[in-house]
Structure 1
Amino acid sequence: MGLWGLKSANVEKKSAGFTILELVLVVSLLALLLSFSFPLWSGFANRALLKNSASLLAQCLRLARVEALRRGGCVSVFLGRNFFKLYYPDGETASFPLPQGVEVGYTSFPGQRLFFFPTGVPASGGNVTLEKGRVRSRILITPVTARVRLE
C-alpha cells in the first residue's frame, strides 16, 4: 500500500544505452592508450621501412656483382644521400631512389662508390649504413668473397 491507502504502481525504469559519462570515460581511455601506442607504432614502421630499403640496396649490390661477371666489365655503384645508382661498362645506368626519410648515413667506400671487377670481386670490402631518424641498418660487403649481408 502506498500513501493514503492507494496501491502504488511498481514502475521500473529500464535503461537503454550508455550515459554520457560512460561514453566520455571510454573515449578518454582510448585516446590515452592511443597516445602511448603511437610512438611504438612509429618506431615499428621506421624499422620496417629501413629493413626493406637495406634489403633493396643489398639486392642491388648483388646484382652489380652478377652484372660485372655477365658483362665482363667493371660495374660501379654510387651511393648518394637518398639514392643509389648502378653504372654498367657499356654506359647504361640504373637509378634507385630511397624512400622519403631514408638516407645513406655512412659508407666506407672512397667517393661513395663501390666497384665490382669483371671477376665479380669488389675493389674493396666495407660497409654502408642506412638511417631513418635514430634507426640504423648496416650492409657489409666482404672483400674477397663479395658476400653482401645485412646486419
Structure 2
Amino acid sequence: MTEKPERSFSLCQQTAGFTLIELLVVILIIGVLAAIAAPGWLGFVNRQRVNKANDIVVAALQEAQREAKKRKLGYSVSFRTDNNIPQIAIYPKDIDPSSFWRTLGEDLGLKAGQIVLGTNLTDTNTTTSTSSVSYASTTPTTITFDYTGALDLLVKTKTSGLTSVQNNKIGNKGLIVAVAVAKPGAPTQATEMKRCVIVKTLLGSIKTGKDTECD
C-alpha cells in the first residue's frame, strides 16, 4: 500500500521540466536556426530598402517631367550625399536648389550609411560611354527636363532634329542614377545589391535596372 505513492513521486521527478543538458541542446538548436535565418532576413531587408529608395528616384524624375510640361519651363532633379546621407532636390531649372534638398527616403526611416547614392553624370544631362557610376559625391549632379518633358540640352537645333553632339551627351548607357546597399564599415562604397533609374533617350524615357545594369 505504501509503495505506489513512492513510485508516483519518483515518476513525477523524472518527467517534470528539462534537465540542464536538454536546455543547452534546445538553446544550441535555436542559435543554429537563428544563424541560418539571419543572413536571409538581412538580405530581404536590404532589398526592400534599395527597391523603395529607387522608387523614390523614379517618382522624383517623373514629378520633374510633369511639372516641366505643366508649367512650361525647365525643371531639374539634383542628387548629392551629405554626411553619408543621400539627398535629392526637385526644383525649377533657374532657381537655387538650396531650399529644396531633402533626405532620400526620409519617410522610410533610412539611417546614414545604410544606402549609398550615385550617378554616372559628368555634367548636367551629360555622361560619356566610358563613365561608370560614382557613389557618395558631395557635389550635386543634375538631370534637367525642358518644357516638353525631354532632356534639356544646351545644344539646340530647329532644322535638323537631334545633333550628334546631343546624341553623344547621354552615352550608350544613358544617364544613370543608382542606389545601393552600403558596405558595412564603408558607407561611401556600394555592395553588389543595386537598383537604378536610367534616362535612356533624349526624349526623357525612363527605365529601371538592377545590379550589373547599374554600373
Partner of 2:145: 116
CA contact (8 A) 1:140 1:150 kept: yes
Give per-residue Cα distances to partners, 1:5-56, cap 9 Å, x unaligned. xx88241412222222212211111012112221221121111101000001
- State whether structure 2 residue 102 is matched by structure 1 residue 96: yes
Select the residue among 127, 131, 138 that pairs with 2:180. 131
Q: Using the alignment, how far apart are the partners of 2:204 and 2:47 within structure 1? A: 26
Flag the structure with larger Rg. Answer: 1
Tell me how many residue pairs correspond in the alignment: 145
Check the 8 A contact 1:71/1:89 in 2, yes or no. Answer: no
Amino acid at match of 2:177: V
Contact 1:130 1:137 in 2 (8 A): yes
CA 1:90 to 1:108, structure 2 compared with 1: closer, same or farther past 3 Å?
Answer: closer
Summarize deviations over 1:33-81 as a string: whole Å, max 9, x none: 1122212211211111010000011001000000001111111111112
Secondary structure of the equivalent of 1:110?
A: coil
Structure 2 counterpart of 1:58, which letter?
A: V
Aligned pair in 2 of structure 1 residues 140, 47: CA closer, same or farther (>3 Å)? same
Paired amino acid for 1:97: T
TM-score normalized by the length of structure 2: 0.60
Aligned equivalents of 1:136 and 1:89: distance in 2? Answer: 29
- Judged with a 3 Å threshold, the aligned counterparts in structure 2 of structure 1 residues 109 and 147 are, in CA distance, closer, same or farther, namely farther
Q: 1:70 to 1:92 in 2, by over 3 A?
A: farther
Asked if 1:146 is matched to 2:175, the reply is no
Give the Cα–Cα distance (whole angstroms) in 1 for the partners of residues 199 and 93 of structure 2.
21
How far did 1:109 drift?
A: 5.4
- Percent of paired sites with the same residue: 21
The amino acid of 2:118's aligned partner reads G
| Partner secondary structure for residue 80 of structure 1 | strand
Pairs within 5 Å for 1:1-150 = 9-10=3-4, 11-12=7-8, 13-14=11-12, 15-81=15-81, 82-89=86-93, 91=95, 94-98=100-104, 99-100=110-111, 101-108=114-121, 110-111=123-124, 112-123=141-152, 125-133=174-182, 134=191, 135-150=193-208
Distance 2:122 2:62 in 1: 16
